[in-house]
C-alpha cells in the first residue's frame, strides 16, 4: 500500500503544471503519485551562465523564468489548463567552474564526455515552485566518472542517448557504466 504523504494529499487538490518537456521529470513526478499536466516553455533557454555569480544562481533563475513564463501563458490563454501551482526546473553539469548544458552536436558531446572522464563534477538542478508564493532551491550532487576511452565515448555518442541531457549523459542509461561514485541524490542526476 502506498504511503499517504501529506504533501501529495495537499497537491492532489491543486491543479499542478510541470513546465518541462523532460520525460525524466514527468516520470519522477508520476512515480511519486503526483497528478499534473505538462505545458512546455515556448522561450528557448536564453540565459547566459556567465552573467551569474554562480552556476547555482543560474539554474535557479532559469527554473524561475520557465515557471513564470508557463504560469503567465496559462493565465492568459484559455486553451491552456488552469494552474494553481507551476513547477519549473533546469539541470546543468559543472566542472572546473564551467557550465555544461545539452550538447549541440556529436563533437560537442564527445568534448563534454572527454572533459568529465576520470574526474569529479557536480550536477545542479534548480527548481521553482510557483503558487500563492514562490519557492526556489538548488540540489547539488557530486559524480565521479571512471576513465572513458575515446572509442567508448564515440560509441556512446553514436547511441544518441546524450543529446537531450545536460553534460551529455544520463546516469539512468548506458552512462551508468561510467560512474565510479555519487555523493548526493541520484534522482538529481537523472536528466
CATH number at 71 reads 3.90.950.10
What pTM value is reported for the model?
0.90
CB contact at 8 A, 89 and 66: yes
Query: What is the distance between the alpha carbons of residues 35 and 48, in angstroms, rounded to a whole number?
Result: 33
User: In terms of residue numbers, what domain contains 160?
Assistant: 6-189
pLDDT in tens for each of the 191 residues of the chain?
466 778 778 888 889 999 998 899 999 999 888 899 999 988 766 778 888 999 999 999 999 999 999 999 999 998 998 899 999 999 999 999 999 999 999 999 999 999 999 999 999 999 999 998 899 999 999 999 999 999 999 999 999 999 999 999 999 999 999 999 999 999 999 97
Burial of 8 (0-12, 13-18, 19+ CB in 10 A): middle
Pairing relationship of beta strands 134-145 and 120-130 according to DSSP bridges? antiparallel
Q: Rounded to the nearest 5°, which phi and psi values hold at 89?
A: -150, 155
Catalytic residue check, 164: no
Query: What is the distance between the alpha carbons of residues 125 and 35, in angstroms, rounded to a whole number?
Result: 22
Which of 4, 61, 84, 90 is an active site residue?
A: 90
Q: What is the pLDDT of residue 2?
A: 62
User: What is each CA distance from 156 to 6, 126, 133, 142, 150, in whole angstroms?
Assistant: 41, 27, 42, 21, 10
What is the grid cell recorded at 47? 540565459
Q: Give every CB contact of residue 32 below 8 A, 6+ residues apart in sequence.
A: 8
CB contact at 8 A, 93 and 52: no
Q: How many domains would you assign to the chain? A: 1
Query: What is the distance between the alpha carbons of residues 126 and 173, in angstroms, rounded to a whole number?
Result: 22
CB contact at 8 A, 185 and 124: no
**Residue 1 within any structural domain of the chain:** no
**Residue 152 within any structural domain of the chain:** yes
Radius of gyration of the chain (CA): 17
Amino acid at each position: 500500500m502506498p504511503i499517504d504523504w501529506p504533501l501529495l494529499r495537499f497537491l492532489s487538490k491543486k491543479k499542478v503544471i510541470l513546465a518541462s518537456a523532460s520525460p525524466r521529470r514527468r516520470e519522477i513526478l508520476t512515480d511519486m503519485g503526483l497528478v499534473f499536466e505538462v505545458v512546455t516553455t515556448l522561450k528557448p533557454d536564453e540565459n547566459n551562465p556567465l552573467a551569474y555569480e554562480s552556476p547555482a544562481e543560474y539554474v535557479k533563475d532559469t527554473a524561475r523564468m520557465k515557471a513564470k513564463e508557463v504560469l503567465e501563458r496559462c493565465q492568459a490563454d484559455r486553451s491552456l489548463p488552469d494552474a494553481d501551482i507551476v513547477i519549473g526546473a533546469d539541470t546543468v553539469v559543472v566542472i572546473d567552474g564551467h557550465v555544461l548544458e545539452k550538447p549541440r552536436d556529436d563533437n560537442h558531446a564527445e568534448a563534454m564526455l572527454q572533459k568529465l572522464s576520470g574526474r569529479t563534477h557536480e550536477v545542479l538542478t534548480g527548481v521553482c515552485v510557483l503558487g500563492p508564493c514562490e519557492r526556489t532551491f538548488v540540489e547539488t550532487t557530486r559524480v565521479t566518472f571512471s576513465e572513458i576511452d575515446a572509442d567508448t565515448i564515440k560509441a556512446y555518442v553514436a547511441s544518441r542517448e546524450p543529446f537531450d541531457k545536460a553534460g551529455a549523459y544520463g546516469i539512468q542509461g548506458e552512462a551508468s557504466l561510467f560512474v565510479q561514485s555519487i555523493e548526493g541524490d541520484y534522482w538529481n542526476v537523472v536528466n
